[in-house]
Structure 1
């Protein structure tokens, strides 16, 4: 299935230039953007997930190889030579990581089932070793599945996983896997405990921290020494955990964590697991949550943190890295610049320069020579000058809650209202929309639509109180936030009533269905992409597959009252729909089961509603393969062009002040 490749028939375009660190960035801002081919936005990127080898000799990256599938390619930084490394015949490689400077571990799932098959390959020997297989739930094959707990940066030959011992085995626990042979060796977890999970290993691969349910509490437990039993470090109400373990420093005693005990948005703190002493807050941003910490390659130093408000920000504890970041930003002033990878000695840095209009360019910064070299673009088909800026926006919901989001307008939107698409993100709890390049948004703007992305209540990034405000508000206040966003956009003359559609995926697909059923006069059409239609399925699904933690999540966040689930499930109110709805599902979806569509379609037929359906047999929660992905967006493009057209006789527009736009009902 997975074989090394000897020829590379299709490579991304690279820049063979080496420029001084005072290099300037790209410009932006054409007044009118021509319609670009759909494939420019949704074909596989030229290069992505670029990583430096620890010794700084190679760049590895994902790209489309001559097999037609996404594989791994290498670039020799000394010679500039590029070559393919490995690809899979049946599926795309989706992720990888270096193990030392000679091995790469990579993975891909089967048909979107989100159970990755892991392989390793030696750079020198080009030998592929099978480490785990994908678990095909529908066929109950009990593969020797694996979920990587820790890549163990300082151990060149082992990774830490959760899984079963071998094919057909029910011995499910934690293992050290030898990437050279695939052999699994059991790991001491500090004593068996019911309802324990989210283990954190130290840098030697020893489990030193975990979370455990106990009655109506959640315990955060630590092992003071590698051979000790777990002891309690903190406890919180089971529905309000205020800690999140991050990672160990190099000393294997300092454990970084996020604490929300005295800060709604969370503070970075350090817990000494040997003494149990918790440091004062190291950093907190009242306006946004911490995205990640920045450390030295060897974890001996804490350089800083990244956090997000309207855009991404940095706070540095290390003056050298603060200065370095400032120099890079001065060299690339028109982009947001992120250090994506470093060599082990930190003399080579891989930087990706990106923006709301630019998918990104990768650079290698050689600190010894003071040179910045561009090595490749993420997508050479996108001209940043022809993309549209993403504008941060703020408005107030009907109950006074402040909501944030982003507005992207098409090139012709300067002087008059344009058709608008509300695009709620998935999740819903925890994820949020960020400022930056979004191919989907740019595609819609390129086709003449404004796109409004609202971080509705329940979204992450704005603090605990904001996220908690979305509890049990599926089809309730979270949906009201989207409705209020439409009204705000109309009041700002961004769009007119009667020219608004709603499109989203996952929870966003649920929101699209909820918009069509619960506010049937608000939207002109809707696009449901792998969306929940019946809350009874999603709550029973989480309970049956992931035990007590997901059962509690279903009750606390989604809602577990039978009447509530009935009243907030769009499948029960299809008779109210007045607009055309495009639906798309993956048959293998492990999150939103295909039963959501199987229950929804008979209702569309029963009530004679106008709908379209796409079912991809070899896809899961979102279409990952290029052919399926481009087909979906082409269908959506045609669908929107038809039903957002003000001259379309199949859509009767109600008076503007009423914000009603019912569609004629007709059989499919």
Structure 2
């Protein structure tokens, strides 16, 4: 927590210059400080934050967020002027709430999951609710339809209506209906777009005009229909193949009323994602608007009218390049007021009011309401209020050269009070593995392990995103091979640099990172004392069969090709469940019972294989999903992980 208080608090800060107060009001000591920090409870790292997903109303008069309390999702609304609570409503089980979105200043749309069960079937389906803030009433809105009932393609900024894409059943093509949020008489839904040429999905512009339709084929291509404005017929523009560069940007159109010009993230000459113009009338790309010399762009930022404001990219940490001069100046002023941290304007109501998130690798951060015209930066609250940031560990970015000459970027977090040399090390590979990366940002798991005395190393092994297509392509066919070499080389770098004790290194990861942890302990037992995996893949052949049932044909083909590469690929040779007899190191294997990404079968295959091989495993199955959504379950897993590490790779 910060030095002022826990919970809601208003800090009126002058934006005059760099001498303004810092976010925390305390100096953060450097790594290796002599005084060891107190033990921070596991639960402090898992308590639901809520504030991280806050959203401003249309004019910025209010903001809302969802906080989970005793497993219930509570939607809370506060005034942006003085932070006072305006209303709150219980939305039901936190597991059943998908998202919320403002419609004007007085109404919030909420997507929830409902269940229907009889003696023939059990189904979960999404539906929309509307919360009236002044009246504090919650009611269902939308139409009767199939499983998906929350496909909102436009919300009126004034809160009068929204556009809902509707399928009467799973096989039907969607229509678009205008649903009024006026609770008066005569507010009946109105169909504004009929089924058209088998279109599977619709998009609308910022004025609520349906402008683009897309039809997906079973072979992985998509046909695009477009019109410039209301009253015009839709014309077939182009056809794109799944996995192509065009596939990615056509699925995220960015047109605005009265214009055919838009912007897309596309591959540039260097293989990195750049921002380019597109003419939606022809489907042709235009000039490059912005590119970074080293890093992929993540996304573009637009205002409510669809005007381009900036782009977000991540080098070692997320950054925004603002095209808008006023926003660029405001960003600079915020950095002066909150020095030494990453400051992001996460939601804007013009330049009059915005939500600001401040954080850092050693700081979970806080949420602020920024009112530039009044020079006010009001602290709403801390993301992790139970954590004193003075006790968290600093992180730093490093580069090393892998055995084949490839440059790898990694992030190292050193525990406080343990010095800087020959530390017990946790190598923590990220999930994915493709299209995912680590960055120099706050991580609950990293900080928990550092608080217990471990150095933590997060390598962006080949195949990770952020550095362009060529670097990602290096990972094709290298699961269990060169990707794993990068992790071993990361360990060697940490040892040679003096940070890590080579006799005290363990692997910890989740999803693909869980697989890499398991495989490292089997492949190189001479390197690692132990391994811990949450929802890690254990049998690649079985995993690919599972994926084939759930992924679109073309998407599956691309995923399989990335896993297998162009050369002969032996899934059994790099599958922990198939190589369990080679396991000689302690392993902690945990899994979510309701995981649909890496199913429970992957866990049982490994457990059964280990049993047949006479190898002992420490196991834990939680009533949770792939992402450990329940804080109590996450706390149970992390407590078990710490106990496992303490016994097999003690930090003291």
TM-score calculated relative to the size of structure 1: 0.84
Which of the numbers 371, 375, 384 marks the counterpart of 1:379? 384
Which of the numbers 611, 614, 618 marks the counterpart of 1:612? 618
Corresponding position: 1:63 with 2:64:
no
How far the C-alpha of 1:402 sits from its partner, in A, is 0.8
Residue in 1 that maps onto 2:118: none
Which stretch of structure 1 is more off in the superposition, 228-237 or 180-189? 180-189
Corresponding position: 1:29 with 2:36:
no
Task: Supply the distance in 2 between the matched residues of 1:374 and 1:333 (Cα, whole angstroms).
Answer: 15
Residue in 2 that maps onto 1:596: 602
The SS at the match of 1:465 is helix
2:103 touches 2:159 (CA, 8 Å); kept in 1?
A: yes
Deviations 1:37-58 (A, max 9, x none): 1111112226331121112221
Residue in 2 that maps onto 1:39: 43
The SS at the match of 1:424 is coil
1:131 touches 1:177 (CA, 8 Å); kept in 2?
A: no
Deviations 1:167-196 (A, max 9, x none): xx6536465473859979695575226xx7
Which stretch of structure 1 is more off in the superposition, 273-282 or 432-441? 273-282
2:203 touches 2:211 (CA, 8 Å); kept in 1?
A: yes
How far the C-alpha of 1:426 sits from its partner, in A, is 0.9
1:91 touches 1:109 (CA, 8 Å); kept in 2?
A: no
Task: Supply the distance in 2 between the matched residues of 1:633 and 1:225 (Cα, whole angstroms).
Answer: 53
Task: Supply the distance in 1 between the matched residues of 2:174 and 2:130 (Cα, whole angstroms).
Answer: 21
Task: Supply the distance in 2 between the matched residues of 1:532 and 1:151 (Cα, whole angstroms).
Answer: 39
Task: Supply the distance in 1 between the matched residues of 2:352 and 2:103 (Cα, whole angstroms).
Answer: 19
Which of the numbers 323, 333, 344 marks the counterpart of 2:329? 323
Deviations 1:192-227 (A, max 9, x none): 26xx77x65433252526586697x95674524354
How far the C-alpha of 1:370 sits from its partner, in A, is 2.2
Residue in 2 that maps onto 1:335: 341
Unpaired runs of 5+ residues, structure 1, are 1-10, 134-141, 648-668
Which of the numbers 441, 453, 462 marks the counterpart of 1:457? 462
Corresponding position: 1:309 with 2:315:
yes
Residue in 2 that maps onto 1:660: none
Equivalent residues in 2 for 1:231-250 (5 A)? 231-233=236-238, 244-245=249-250, 246-250=252-256
The total of aligned residue pairs comes to 618
Unpaired runs of 5+ residues, structure 2, are 116-122
Which stretch of structure 1 is more off in the superposition, 223-232 or 576-585? 223-232
Corresponding position: 1:263 with 2:270:
yes
Residue in 2 that maps onto 1:359: 364
Task: Supply the distance in 2 between the matched residues of 1:185 and 1:595 (Cα, whole angstroms).
Answer: 45
Which stretch of structure 1 is more off in the superposition, 15-24 or 491-500? 15-24
Task: Supply the distance in 1 between the matched residues of 2:107 and 2:404 (Cα, whole angstroms).
Answer: 55
Residue in 2 that maps onto 1:293: 300
Residue in 1 that maps onto 2:129: 119
Equivalent residues in 2 for 1:501-520 (5 A)? 501-520=506-525
Corresponding position: 1:566 with 2:572:
yes
2:477 touches 2:569 (CA, 8 Å); kept in 1?
A: no
The SS at the match of 2:288 is coil
Corresponding position: 1:50 with 2:54:
yes
Which of the numbers 401, 411, 415 marks the counterpart of 2:406? 401
2:125 touches 2:147 (CA, 8 Å); kept in 1?
A: no
Instruction: Name the Cα RMSD after superposition.
Output: 3.3
How far the C-alpha of 1:319 sits from its partner, in A, is 1.8
Which stretch of structure 1 is more off in the superposition, 251-260 or 279-288? 251-260
Residue in 1 that maps onto 2:101: 97
Structure 2 CA distance for partners of 1:105 and 1:473, relative to 1, 3 Å = farther
Which stretch of structure 1 is more off in the superposition, 241-250 or 539-548? 241-250
The SS at the match of 2:632 is helix
2:525 touches 2:585 (CA, 8 Å); kept in 1?
A: yes
Deviations 1:99-152 (A, max 9, x none): 2222212346699x997665332223333334699xxxxxxxx96234646454
The SS at the match of 1:496 is strand
Task: Supply the distance in 2 between the matched residues of 1:506 and 1:177 (Cα, whole angstroms).
Answer: 41
Which stretch of structure 1 is more off in the superposition, 540-549 or 477-486? 540-549
Deviations 1:322-364 (A, max 9, x none): 1111111111112211111122x43111111111111112221
Which stretch of structure 1 is more off in the superposition, 220-229 or 500-509? 220-229
Which of the numbers 75, 87, 93 marks the counterpart of 1:72? 75
1:13 touches 1:46 (CA, 8 Å); kept in 2?
A: no
Structure 2 CA distance for partners of 1:236 and 1:399, relative to 1, 3 Å = farther
Structure 2 CA distance for partners of 1:170 and 1:297, relative to 1, 3 Å = closer
Structure 2 CA distance for partners of 1:151 and 1:566, relative to 1, 3 Å = farther
1:543 touches 1:550 (CA, 8 Å); kept in 2?
A: no
Task: Supply the distance in 2 between the matched residues of 1:586 and 1:114 (Cα, whole angstroms).
Answer: 19
TM-score calculated relative to the size of structure 2: 0.86
Which of the numbers 20, 26, 34 marks the counterpart of 2:14? 20
The SS at the match of 1:440 is helix
Task: Supply the distance in 1 between the matched residues of 2:391 and 2:194 (Cα, whole angstroms).
Answer: 56
The SS at the match of 2:561 is helix
Task: Supply the distance in 2 between the matched residues of 1:170 and 1:219 (Cα, whole angstroms).
Answer: 17
Equivalent residues in 2 for 1:166-565 (5 A)? 170-171=171-172, 173=174, 175-176=176-177, 178=179, 180=181, 187-188=193-194, 191-192=197-198, 200-203=203-206, 204=208, 206=210, 208=212, 210=214, 221=224, 223-225=226-228, 227-233=232-238, 244-245=249-250, 246-251=252-257, 252-274=259-281, 276-299=283-306, 301-343=307-349, 345-559=350-564, 564-565=570-571
Task: Supply the distance in 1 between the matched residues of 2:441 and 2:412 (Cα, whole angstroms).
Answer: 12
